[in-house]
Chains A and B, each alone.
Chain A
Amino acid sequence: MAIETATQVSSPLAQADTASISGSKALLEALVAEGVETIFGYPGGAIMPIYDALYDYPDQLKHILVRHEQGGIHAAQGFARSSGKVGVVFATSGPGATNLVTGLADAMIDSTPLVAITGQVYAHLLGTDAFQETDVINITSPVTKWNYQITDATEIPSVLAKAFYIARSGRPGPVLIDITKNAQLQLFAYAGYQKCNHIRSYRPKPIIRKEYIEEAANLINAAEKPFVIFGQGVILGKAEKEFANFIEKGGLPAAWTILGLSALPTDHSLNMGMLGMHGNYGPNVLTNDCDVLIAVGMRFDDRVTGRLDKYAKQAKVIHLDIDPSEIDKNVKATVGVWGDCKETLPLLTQLIESKSRTAWIQRFKDHDAEENKEVIFSELHPDTPVMTMGEVIRNLNEISGGDAIIVTDVGQHQMVTCRYARFNQSNSNITSGGLGTMGFALPAAIGAKFGAPERTVVAVIGDGGVQMTLQELGTILQTEVNVKILILNNHFLGMVRQWQQLFHDKRYSFVDIASPDYVKLAEAYGIAGASIESRDQLNEALSAMYHHPGSYLLEVNVGKENNVFPMVPQGCSVSEIRLK
């Protein structure tokens, strides 16, 4: 295993022997030393010394001024997910810090590496209900991998080093560092920055146990109908190649969770599609038919498993995960393979036999054909007067060729986009999976573009979610970042409406949502835009959006009461998936 060696980072400051610098400057030096180039943030009283110091770092650190701290943290998440680096966000104390909470919870459940820096009131004011004081450490403890309050500047270099190490190592996650104003201002003898690569109480990677790899390989080799399900662990472990080698050698059909999407190219012959509530027919039905279920870097979320006591009961389960607490958490593993899949997959690949398993894979294809007949064809090539979300995504695929980064919000459009969007490369699907945060997509798309400037970023958003974080159009205006905003407007909170239709006797309770004139709104922010309602405009409008030199907002009005199918109703088993 490669061990990062501790490196003394030399900067002009570090060389001047124990120069006296402020805590704020030490913080920025830490960011520079960690390779941070982009920060999303919003200033305020308790973080002013840091912003003052930032004034002197225009070349090293690019600060993106967002319009709301929630937008800032979602942008940092988008940045982290498109770049594979740690996202950084700044916020002030009190409301600034509490506005980060949704993003922290989102990053925690989706394992996104973040370092959030919050200002805090002077240490002597802690606990006095001072202006903009809030107990951010206790508020954020359940939604951070680690958090820490600094009241003394001398702690800044070592705590920041720990923060970055914890955020990106093992199962990544958000870290919050709260720095009191006195510590930001305090001058101290700075002896340089040393990266952290070990914390005695922290095991980022469990030790790989060879005997479990062997047991797993034996199960796979003896299997008639093995089935691989994979999640974001493959992407976070940067193990896409290792994963492809594994399934290719074993002839193993594989299906993804929505966070695993894009780890395997859409047109890979062993890519069987999406798992879970709105996933594909074959992967869901055959989960309850396979004899060995091989889970790689996924956590058996309830939206993937449906009813647990009827989930893959016939199968032996192999579970590969870097987080030991995930193994046996929801689904009991026959063999648990603890470790980073970047390391465990090649070991497993070595031991499995090369097979093709044509007959078994044909069963997925048969189910596909049925799903295509019942659902997919009419969604992608509708003969209705109104447009479907699916045909919009199909058209987008033709234009993008599968090369775009697609950021989705939460709801029907998210399910449709994940089901139908094409991806050729990893780190291309960015969505709020675990927390299901409406309002995620617009700021996350801004961050994603900063994280991967050479790529085209398309945010696909519903008319509900887009109205939750609309203010970030101001960030686009100011930074001139090039983001394509595709609003699929069904004039409803569509997913809730779908459930009300199916499970609440069509009692449409507060799902009828009005929209502003999005094109005018975009125009107010200096963003080009268009709105279409008929199919014959679709291709041209999407192409205009995609090829526009700057940001562009396209509103596509789609059918009001279309539903997403297939669907595993809540409380049902995955094999009880409904096609209509």
Chain B
Amino acid sequence: MKQEYTITVYTENHIGLLVRIATIFSRRKINIESLNTSPSEAEGIHRFTIVIDETEEVVRKLARQIEKQVEVLKAYYNNNEEIIWQELALYKVPTAQIAEKVKVERLLREHGARAVVIRNDYVVFETVGHREETDRLVEVLAPYGLIEFVRSARVAIIKESRGFHEKLREFELAEPKDELIENEFLNQQKEVFSM
């Protein structure tokens, strides 16, 4: 059964990796619903958050293909029950309309929105939440001449995760090898990880 999955990928910060990861999806004609890149809790380690609508089997194979990339440290996938996620949305509306026709205070309260900019010509509101929540405010504001709307990619945190630092240590220590000594990542852990 297809459902929303969030793939979290820990990577080196490397030019060209975005293309390599993106083509893993495009080659299989899978649409990426949302993609975010950001730093992670570990310095120098980047984090991709990718949302797709697929079956678990497909997602599992995709995660392995992603992990196969030389500069990818680890890829996890989770369904919506297993993560906490947010998206941020911005709405630009004409000030005159809003001031006349909307009870701004109620609007802000009901939708957890706040005004980011207030000018003579327009006001920019911001909300943070799940897609349905940010979509609802679009519906509310549409009659008042919504000038611009934009929503960010999803950012997500895995509920069960003890953080990537712990996971990576586990992964590295599963079977200690001579190689470990060579691993600058672990050698520098005290400096690198400030969680």
Q: Name A residues whose Cβ lies closer than 8 Å to a Cβ of B.
A: 1, 3, 6, 137-138, 141-142, 145-149, 166, 197-202, 207, 323-325, 328-329
Contacts and interface: CB of A to CB of B under 8 A. Distances in A.
A198 B27 contact: no
B194 to A, nearest CB: 18
A137 B72 contact: no
Looking at chain A's contact residues, the main secondary structure is loop
B117 interface: no
B179 A325 contact: no
9 nearest A-B pairs in the assembled complex, by CB-CB distance: A325-B64, A198-B182, A200-B185, A201-B73, A146-B70, A3-B178, A207-B175, A202-B70, A325-B68
B177 interface: yes
Contact of B19 (A138, A198, A202): A138
B183 interface: yes
A1 B185 CA distance: 21
Interface of B: 11-12, 15-16, 19-20, 23, 27, 60-61, 64-65, 67-68, 70-73, 174-175, 177-179, 182-185
Contacts of A197: 179, 182
A198 B16 contact: no
A201 B175 contact: no
A201 B178 contact: no
A324 B60 CA distance: 11
Nearest to A330: B61
Contacts of A207: 174-175
Given A3-B177, A142-B23, A325 B16 contact: no
B140 to A, nearest CB: 42
Given A200-B185, A202-B70, A141 B19 contact: yes
Nearest to A329: B61
Given A201-B71, A325-B67, A141 B16 contact: yes
Contacts of A146: 70-71
A199 B72 CA distance: 11
Contact of A325 (B61, B70, B174, B184): B61
A62 B60 CA distance: 46
Nearest to A201: B73
Task: From A3, A137, A201, A324, name the one whose CB has the most chain B CB atoms within 10 angstroms.
Answer: A201
A202 B72 CA distance: 7
29 contacts: A1-B177, A1-B178, A3-B179, A137-B16, A138-B16, A141-B19, A141-B20, A141-B23, A145-B70, A147-B16, A149-B15, A198-B179, A200-B73, A200-B184, A200-B185, A201-B11, A201-B70, A201-B72, A202-B70, A202-B71, A323-B68, A324-B64, A325-B61, A325-B64, A325-B67, A325-B68, A328-B60, A328-B61, A329-B61
Nearest to B186: A200
Nearest to B183: A200
A202 B16 CA distance: 16
B76 to A, nearest CB: 14
B191 to A, nearest CB: 15
A340 B162 CA distance: 31
Nearest to A142: B23
Given A1-B177, A141-B23, A198 B183 contact: yes
A138 B26 CA distance: 14
A466 B140 CA distance: 68
Nearest to A208: B175
A452 B83 CA distance: 56
A149 B185 CA distance: 24
A161 to B, nearest CB: 13
Nearest to A166: B70
Nearest to A332: B57
Contacts of B177: 1, 3
Contacts of A323: 68
